[in-house]
Structure 1
Amino acid sequence: MPFPDSADVGGELTVGGAASPFSAVYVAPAEESSPAEIEQVLVHELVHAAQFQQRVPQQVRTEIPDDHRSTRDAELVITSMLEGGAVYGSSVYTERHGLAIDPEIEVLERLYPNASAGTKLVWGPYYYGGQYIDSVAADPDDHWKVYEEPPVTMRQVLHGEGEPVLEPFEATLTSEDDNGSWEEIRQETMGEFVVRLVLETQLSTETSTDAASGWAYDRQLRVASDDESPDGHVWSVRFEDSANASTYATALASYLDARADSSEGTVSTVDDSNVSAADSNDSDVSNTTWYADEYAFTTATPDERTVALVGGPEAFVEAASVEATADGDPDMETETNTNIRLSVTDTRDENATQSVTAPGLSLGAVAGSVSASGVAAP
């Protein structure tokens, strides 16, 4: 496993390792590393070498639907299958050969729950991927079948669900602003795992897990302006039903309360340990703006299943509005397969308006301690 924050390892994980698609395997032990630790990491990397020989990364990627394949969530799925398979293989090897060390999957089960959010982002594919493959594979030889029909979302990896839940949004940027004050920089789909981790930077694991469950899809979008700094962000998360969306909305308000230095407007939150769908249905987080560092934040509910978080410079947040649309019609009567449109009206020019469909939020704006760049293929 990669070396995370030193405070999260408790003196364990002293051996580093890597494998390349060209069948090269590297092991980097420390002076205090035991032979059993070195052997376990070697086995982990040899599993990767076998995965590359069998073209597992390509096989898993091919099974992910085209409109989801290039997302961050999909990359996490691919990494989870690769690292989960290696964790599973090394753990079985450790037990069968009686190595004087705990199996890798047990080490993760011991360390992961108390790790920082940044470490959890890196370890997540190992932890949840290993659990997923352990739950569906009868033995090491049989585990190769997992790659033939792999999960396609991190929601499946987290919950062991067979059928994916995918409701992709369309994402377009249209501008009626001749001055071009806001421009799309990047858009992404993060998935349930990242939604959970962002909340967990401020809330308990139980609350964050409950709030992120029911995820159906999300889109994040980053926009920039030559006249404003920092960039503007919107993260729209759609859930299976209104109850799950309400639970998330209340947890999101609690998250913003914990993260913000100040706020204006109506703030309605509940005890972190008791956020539930039943409690959150009565929440009122509209007309609230939170302030943290150089960012302002607000929330919106463009339809009963979608919650949007808007963040950026105060001028952007004040000018932004989010609505659900069907085929470009803001007066649609159903939210099924609808898009989410962000309209930004430049307050310096009342005639300047831009629209963005299916927006989202960058991790850097929401939780600086969680870095998406920490996720990489083995």
Structure 2
Amino acid sequence: MVSRRVALTAVLAALLLLAGCTAPTPPPDVANGGEIEGEEAPAGDDSTTSADRDDADTESHRDLDLDEDAVWDEVATMMDSDAQQPDLFVDEMPAGADQAFEPQQSEFQDALNATESSPSGSGTSGLAMPGSVYVFPDGPDEEVEQVLVHEYAHAIQFADGMFASWLRSAPGTTDEELLQTSLIEGGAVYVADEYTEENFPEFPAQSEQMAASYEAAPAGDRLLLAPYHYGAEYVHAEIDSADELPEVYRSHPVTTAEMLDPDGHPPATDLDVDVETSNSDWSVQRTDRKGELYTRIVLDTELSHDEATDAAAGWSDDELVAFEDVDGQEAFVWTTHWESEDNADAFAAAFDSKLDSRTDDWADRTVVERVDDRTVSVLIGPDEFRSAVDTTATNGTIDIDLGSTTAAPALTTPAQSTPTSATGADATVSS
């Protein structure tokens, strides 16, 4: 169920977007002492690999203790779909799907102290891809049935083309990925909730389980769990029955900020960031928009949930620029833009508070700078990088100039500067 931020071919991207109902940590106990979905397939011998599972004998392909045909028929009826029932595989992993169960990490997340992850726990998990559903049962019967329903919902989402346009290319930014995954997974959680209410209402709804798991998880896992939790909240607020799910994808938010508060956030402001590195040892490696949901989660590592939520509210846009020098050192400038000066104040104060409570090496290489009344930059990197960065706001454009971090040869004319433009979420880098 958890999609990973990795470079994928279109086919594998589709598979991971439809990844099943999983969670990387064992959540608080639920009804009758049961556990909700676990990140990994049921634990076995440590030496067992995906190849071993692929080559397993027919004993590993067993039936679930339920009528999967009846479950499919009910889900298809709920969703008003005539899609063909997918093949069901139990305790088997599709070739190439291992990445769906790998924890998400990045150097920037590490720099924000947001990579902590709990050991994987037990619990039922699942995976869906076009034409096939995979379930790894390891929990109460109701939980197994919920996960199967969730995966069948994904199969119908795909077969009915609810988000077909999204599968043609990978998301362009972190914010776009979190939004798309939230709407996809939130839709499947909604269907599982409706099914649960009809068939075993005494058992916790999948959305309740996702909320409990999200609240209990460290930041690294919250980045994976957030789409299920916040996506389900959004879908529950938008529709009243599973047959209305296509409406979620016909008219939807364009940022996670809009998803979190549909009535309070206009589209992002398309922040304009220009980067100058021609006289520097540093070069631009990539740009990204992180978004309000990501900002909330990474603030939550040191702050309370309410403090992080308040500090991320009022997000208008952001632009992350990642740099690398000739020696392979990494550095970052994360420029954030806010709806008001008060919102910018709140973020700057929250990030400073976050830094004050950290003792890791990255914290000593991080500073917060105010660019203008509504713009705050976070500079992360070695001393020579931070001292070279000059960030200014000019006529609505944020200019990041690294100046020169190397001594210029005597009696030579500096090369004409060639700005690198990073504009909005779809920035391209030129040099």
Query: TM-score scaled to structure 1, two decimals?
Result: 0.75
- The structure that is strand-richer by fraction is 1
Query: Aligned partners of 2:264 and 2:252: how far apart in 1?
Result: 9
Q: Which residue of 1 aligns with 2:36?
A: 12
Q: Which residue of 1 aligns with 2:294?
A: 194
Query: Aligned partners of 2:260 and 2:294: how far apart in 1?
Result: 11
**Are residue 237 (structure 1) and residue 345 (structure 2) matched?**
no
Q: Secondary structure at the match of 1:308?
A: strand
What letter matches 2:160 in structure 1?
Q
**Are residue 137 (structure 1) and residue 137 (structure 2) matched?**
no
Query: Aligned partners of 1:293 and 1:162: how far apart in 2?
Result: 34
Q: CA deviation at 1:165?
A: 2.4
Query: Aligned partners of 1:315 and 1:38: how far apart in 2?
Result: 54
- Among 75, 85, 88, the alignment partner of 2:177 is 75
Q: Which structure 2 residue ranges, 5 or more long, are not aligned?
A: 1-20, 30-34, 38-122, 409-413, 425-431
RMSD over aligned CA atoms reads: 2.7
Query: Aligned partners of 1:259 and 1:312: how far apart in 2?
Result: 16
Query: Aligned partners of 2:403 and 2:342: how far apart in 1?
Result: 31
Query: Aligned partners of 1:142 and 1:54: how far apart in 2?
Result: 13
Q: Secondary structure at the match of 2:220?
A: helix
Query: Aligned partners of 1:200 and 1:358: how far apart in 2?
Result: 28
Q: Which residue of 1 aligns with 2:257?
A: 155
Q: CA deviation at 1:357?
A: 5.2
Alpha carbons of structure 1 residues 295 and 349: separation in structure 2 relative to 1, 3 Å: farther
Q: Which residue of 2 aligns with 1:182?
A: 282
* Kept in 2: contact 1:91–1:103 (CA 8 A): yes
Q: CA deviation at 1:113?
A: 2.1
What letter matches 2:199 in structure 1?
H
Q: Which residue of 2 aligns with 1:23?
A: 131
Query: Aligned partners of 2:28 and 2:134: how far apart in 1?
Result: 21
Instruction: Output aligned runs, 1:280-359, within 5 Å.
Output: 292-293=361-362, 296-326=365-395, 338-349=396-407
What letter matches 1:207 in structure 2?
E
**Based on CA coordinates, which of the two structures has the bigger radius of gyration?**
2
Q: Which residue of 1 aligns with 2:311?
A: 211
Q: Which residue of 1 aligns with 2:69?
A: none
What letter matches 1:97 in structure 2?
N
Q: Which residue of 2 aligns with 1:98?
A: 200
Q: Secondary structure at the match of 2:329?
A: strand
Alpha carbons of structure 1 residues 114 and 313: separation in structure 2 relative to 1, 3 Å: same
Identity value in percent: 32
**Are residue 2 (structure 1) and residue 17 (structure 2) matched?**
no
Q: Secondary structure at the match of 1:141?
A: helix
* Kept in 2: contact 1:87–1:104 (CA 8 A): yes
Instruction: Output aligned runs, 1:41-120, within 5 Å.
Output: 41-59=147-165, 70-98=172-200, 101-120=203-222
Count of residue pairs brought into register by the alignment: 308
Q: Which residue of 2 aligns with 1:250?
A: 349
Query: Aligned partners of 2:312 and 2:281: how far apart in 1?
Result: 34
Query: TM-score scaled to structure 2, two decimals?
Result: 0.66
Query: Aligned partners of 1:80 and 1:294: how far apart in 2?
Result: 30
What letter matches 1:84 in structure 2?
G
* Kept in 1: contact 2:28–2:216 (CA 8 A): no
Q: CA deviation at 1:59?
A: 4.6
* Kept in 1: contact 2:274–2:397 (CA 8 A): no
Q: CA deviation at 1:315?
A: 0.9
Query: Aligned partners of 2:362 and 2:345: how far apart in 1?
Result: 27
* Kept in 2: contact 1:196–1:209 (CA 8 A): yes
**Are residue 128 (structure 1) and residue 230 (structure 2) matched?**
yes
